[in-house]
């Protein structure tokens, strides 16, 4: 456990909460893409496109606005 009483993940795997956060962010970005799409053509899930947009949004939230850190915005496991 760390100093705040949270469990430390020694297995280097995402927790279920972290996976839920990733899913939430990716789905929110995909919903945004579909919402602002002016064409009648249906948008298909494209994780590369979603990832590129996620990087820009993350940059704003973490570096420019400083409202969260990288793990808070989109959790990942360091290898």
Q: How far are the Cα atoms of 1, 7, 8, 47, 77 from residue 4, in angstroms, in the given order?
A: 8, 9, 10, 34, 20
Q: What is the pTM of this model?
A: 0.81
pLDDT at 8 over 90: no
pLDDT at 74 over 50: yes
Residues 60 and 44: their CA atoms lie apart, in Å, by 25
Stretch 10-30: mean pLDDT: 92
* Predicted local distance difference test score (pLDDT) of residue 78: 78
Count of C-beta atoms within a 10 Å radius of residue 74: 20
> What does the DSSP 8-state code read for residue 74?
S
CA-nearest of 55, 11, 7, 47 to 27 is 47
């Amino acid at each position: 456990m760390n100093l705040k009483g949270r469990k430390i993940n020694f297995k280097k795997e995402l927790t279920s909460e972290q996976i839920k956060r990733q899913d939430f962010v990716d789905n929110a970005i995909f919903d945004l893409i579909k919402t602002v799409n002016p064409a009648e053509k249906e948008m298909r899930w494209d994780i590369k496109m979603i990832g590129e947009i996620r990087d820009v949004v993350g940059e704003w939230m973490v570096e420019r606005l400083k409202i969260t850190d990288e793990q808070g915005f989109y959790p990942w496991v360091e290898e």
